[in-house]
Amino acid sequence: MTFPKGKLIAIMGLSGCGKTTLLRHIGGALKPAKGYVKMDGQVIHELDQDGLYRMRRKMGMLFQFGALFTDMSVFDNVAFQMREHTDLPEEIIHDLVLMKLHAVGLRSTFNLMPSELSGGMARRVALARAVALDPMLIMYDEPFAGLDPISLTVVGDLIRRLNDALGATSIVVTHDVQESLKIVDYVYFMANGVIVAEGTPDEIRASDEDFVRQFVHGEIDGPVPFHYPGGDYRQDLNLRD
């Protein structure tokens, strides 16, 4: 897989096919048994601890369901990385946090706690936190899960606009085919740990590959069976001809 600078790439596939595992390899949480991940000219699994931490400062991560720090305010959630990884004075951090929150439309929520936010608002605050240090790579793990249609559209639009504004590279792991195809530049389909299809959104929509067509259109019949593999149904029920 190749993720060019400035592009928004989707990784799709069935649950358990290795999408989140791939993100863990990119972030250095896992080391590959074979192959490598290279970012900014460096092979991730060859970095020592200090080198890996420096590389991670160039990455932003939006976790499933946001994963905000529940005992911190919205402001402190977004300020967390700035305080941990920079020597910026608090006045500058204050202004930067408000800028990030303004970018996701939630500047006025800075003094709220995560428990006071709706699901869509929490995801947008998490997005502001993910881009707090203007990373060169932003990873999104199921950013649309559990969102209502309006929030889903808002978050999708923000992902596209923030990627373009930052000139970053973004990787979106998602099951939401239709929303993703509206915003991404390229798509990889994974199955059983390998790439089974790839292309632009238009190429994916027009694909005649059985797996892609079944996944994109949500068809029951196709390469992915409805029934889990097993023995003869009649034998399981002890039926006789």
* pLDDT at position 220: 62
Which pLDDT tens digit goes with each residue over 184-199?
Answer: 999 998 877 778 888 8
Residue keyed to tokens 């699901």:
119
List the domain boundaries for the chain.
Answer: 8-236
- Taking the C-alpha atoms of residue 218 and residue 211, their distance in angstroms, rounded to an integer, is 10
Q: What is the pLDDT of residues 58-109, one digit of tens each?
A: 888 888 766 888 898 999 999 988 888 888 899 999 999 998 888 888 888 8
Looking at residues 16-41, what average pLDDT do you find? 87
Identity of the amino acid at 74: V
State both tokens at 149: 């249609």
What value does the mean pLDDT take over residues 149-164? 84
Q: Model confidence at 240, in pLDDT bands (50, 70, 90)?
A: low
pTM for the predicted model, two decimal places: 0.80
pLDDT on residue 8: 93
What pLDDT is recorded for position 219?
A: 61
Does position 9 have pLDDT exceeding 90, yes or no?
yes
Of the chain, the percentage scoring pLDDT greater than 70 comes to 89
Q: How far apart are CA 26 and CA 92, in angstroms?
A: 31
| Mean pLDDT of all residues in 160-175 | 87
Cα(70)–Cα(102) distance, rounded to whole angstroms? 21
Give pLDDT, residue 212. 72
Taking each helix axis from N to C end, the angle separating 90-103 and 74-85, rounded to the nearest 10 degrees, works out to: 130
User: What's the whole-number mean pLDDT along residues 10-38?
Assistant: 86
Closest-CA residue to 138 (of 57, 201, 19): 57
CATH of segment(s) 8-236: 3.40.50.300
